[in-house]
Amino acid sequence: MEEKPLSHLSDVIISIFEKDEPKTYDRKISVNPVISKVASLYEKLRNVMDYRKEEVILRASIERILKRRLLFGGTGKTIAEPLVRELVWARYFPDESIPESITERIQGQIDLYLELRRDIVAKHILPEKEINQWIYHLMSSDVQHILNPDKKRESMANFMFQVMRTHVKIADDTEQVRDAQVFIAVRKNFTKDDLAFLRFHLFNQYFGRLTEENIKHVSAHFMEGYNEIQSQLNYPRRDTIYNYVKKKTAVFLIFEDLLTSQKGNIRELYKTPEELKKAVFDICNFRYKGISSKIRTAIIRSVVFILLTKAVFAIGVEGTYENLVYGEILWPSIILNIAIPPLLMIIASITIRPPGKQNSEYIYMYIHEILSNDNPNIGIHLITRKSPPKMKPVLNIIFTTFWFLTFILMFGSIIYILTKLNFNIMSQIVFMFFFAIISFLSYRISQAANAYDIEYRKSPTAPIKDFLFMPFIQVGRKLTEGISQVNIFLYILDFVIETPFKGMFAFFEQWFFFLQSKREKLE
């Protein structure tokens, strides 16, 4: 049987991956290797304490630098070059990989966002805190896209959107809303966008890229765009669409790897299904093996995050309470309180298993479908409603009561065990606080481990696990987000230590350059 020709969408995305990125010969930014070594170590410590997804660490670092440098005033001209130099110091980019000319583009965009902020603040249409957050989100995302324009990944995200939008239908809403929701779901699942990146991409969809030509229009209609973006980000069925797209994301992640590893060979490979299947299976197996390394990294970051934050709580809060009530610190309970939750996380992570051969079969089947059909069918389509049928009042009361009793039962069980272990009331509060956080972080690690998993059957024990741990996971999510917002270590690092620290780096780097110039005169 003759193989079908490549689909139009596949032909386009293959052509994009076949193109080589143009090389630039501009003068590059270079930094001192000694300074870079120290700065990168500092940055690793800082990132461990700020629990974020790996994909958004660079953007978050750019935002942090912008906040610090704009705190006492500044413009694009005074900020752009030092910002890029700090990023090269921290080894987000290799030495001599960023052209010096790129700082002019960054300078222009920073000035545009600062002008936009001034215009919006002057109109008093939003609280200044909200405006500042939006501007920093947009500015830092834009700067990252200038520095690291991953055109192939962006093209792949758009390709995924074009495929997935035909698989989703919102029966009682418009196609425009459907497209926006699928777009958001793809950005969150495939490119792992955080809130800042989502706002940036939706902002660009609504207004276009911020330029000198459109800044007055953006300023005049900012509230309209703001309300529309907020509406889409808070859409009632966003989680349903997100989870549906999530189940299909592995197909596109493996397809992206295939396009990269078989660059220039995909068209020939497609003509031989056996070879195509072998290539897909090899990529799947490689990715499955890499899951273990990602899990280890996530565990280390989570444990350090927990230990650093818990040490403050255990010694500062629990220790103070015990000193006041008992006249001394009860070290056995504090040590147990610090050690047990991270140990539970490690044990929970050990049980995570990578996908198997059947998973690779499904991925190959869908990739072949994408390559050969203009309207590929990659599983059951999602049909949902903005306003789903309301649950009967009696059932709603029963389920709500049952859910509330589940919280009481699970938290009550832990309190009972801790009481038997002679934990005082404050020790129990601290333990419960961090047990909930550990439950959420463990859940996130398990989700990351399943990034390449096509879920067709749920584990028979899943309902039991949901019943036992979902209360802790939900509470832990709220607590983790709260800690990230008020982590005192981060404030100390960012505004007390980092400013003089980076100033010292700049001074010594200039000193090294001065010595080098003197040495060159001796040649």
Contact 294, 448 (CB under 8 A): yes
**Structure tokens that stand for 399 in this block:** 């389920």
Beta bridge partners of residue 169, listed in sequence order: 383
What separation, in Å, do the N-terminal and C-terminal C-alpha atoms of the chain show? Answer: 73
**Shared-domain flag, residues 480 and 498:** no
Distance CA 260, CA 18 (A): 9
**Structure tokens that stand for 511 in this block:** 């000193």
For residue 184, being part of any structural domain is answered with no
Helical axes 425-449 vs 273-311, angle rounded to 10°: 160
Phi first, then psi: give them for residue 149, nearest 5 degrees.
Answer: -80, 85
For the beta carbon of residue 520, count every other beta carbon within 10 angstroms. Answer: 8
Q: Percent of the chain at pLDDT above 70?
A: 80
Residue type, position 178, single letter: R
Q: What is the pLDDT of residue 274?
A: 93
Q: Where is average pLDDT lowest: 176-185, 227-236, 383-392, 495-504?
A: 495-504
- Residue-wise pLDDT for 404-438, tens only, equals 787 788 888 888 888 888 787 877 877 887 778 77
**Shared-domain flag, residues 308 and 222:** no
**Shared-domain flag, residues 383 and 479:** yes
Closest CA to 28 of 83, 100, 85, 84: 100
Q: What is the pLDDT of residue 496?
A: 58
**Shared-domain flag, residues 200 and 303:** no
**Shared-domain flag, residues 477 and 496:** no
**Shared-domain flag, residues 287 and 403:** yes
Closest CA to 176 of 386, 390, 373: 386
Residue 1: pLDDT band (50, 70, 90) is very low
Q: Average pLDDT for residues 270-274, to the nearest whole number? A: 91
Q: Percent of the chain at pLDDT above 90?
A: 44
Does the pLDDT value for residue 307 go beyond 70?
Answer: no
How many domains does the chain contain in total? 2
Residue 123 or residue 484, greater confidence: 123
Residue 473: pLDDT band (50, 70, 90) is confident
**Shared-domain flag, residues 200 and 328:** no
Give the SS3 label for residue 384: strand
Q: What is the pLDDT of residue 223?
A: 97
- Residue-wise pLDDT for 4-24, tens only, equals 789 999 999 999 999 887 777
Contact 166, 105 (CB under 8 A): no
**Shared-domain flag, residues 478 and 503:** no
Whether the CA torsion 338, 340, 341, 346 is positive or negative: it is positive
**Shared-domain flag, residues 454 and 507:** no
Residue 467: pLDDT band (50, 70, 90) is low
Structural Rg of the chain based on CA atoms:
26
**Shared-domain flag, residues 343 and 443:** yes
For residue 166, being part of any structural domain is answered with no
For the beta carbon of residue 17, count every other beta carbon within 10 angstroms. Answer: 17
- Residue-wise pLDDT for 349-358, tens only, equals 666 777 888 9
Residue with tokens 């960054």: 106
For residue 159, being part of any structural domain is answered with no
For residue 202, being part of any structural domain is answered with yes
**Shared-domain flag, residues 477 and 509:** no
Does the pLDDT value for residue 316 go beyond 90?
Answer: no
Phi first, then psi: give them for residue 352, nearest 5 degrees.
Answer: -70, 130
Does the pLDDT value for residue 466 go beyond 50?
Answer: yes
Contact 410, 468 (CB under 8 A): yes
**Shared-domain flag, residues 290 and 355:** yes
Contact 85, 503 (CB under 8 A): no
Does the pLDDT value for residue 517 go beyond 80?
Answer: no
Residue with tokens 């990125």: 21
Distance CA 369, CA 518 (A): 64
Distance CA 6, CA 186 (A): 23
Residue 491 or residue 375, greater confidence: 375
Element (H, E) at 93: none
Residue 270 or residue 327, greater confidence: 270
Give the domain range for residue 273: 256-486
For residue 451, being part of any structural domain is answered with yes
Q: Where is average pLDDT lowest: 33-37, 97-101, 390-394, 411-415?
A: 390-394
Q: Across 193-207, 310-324, 346-360, 457-471, which has the greatest mean pLDDT?
A: 193-207
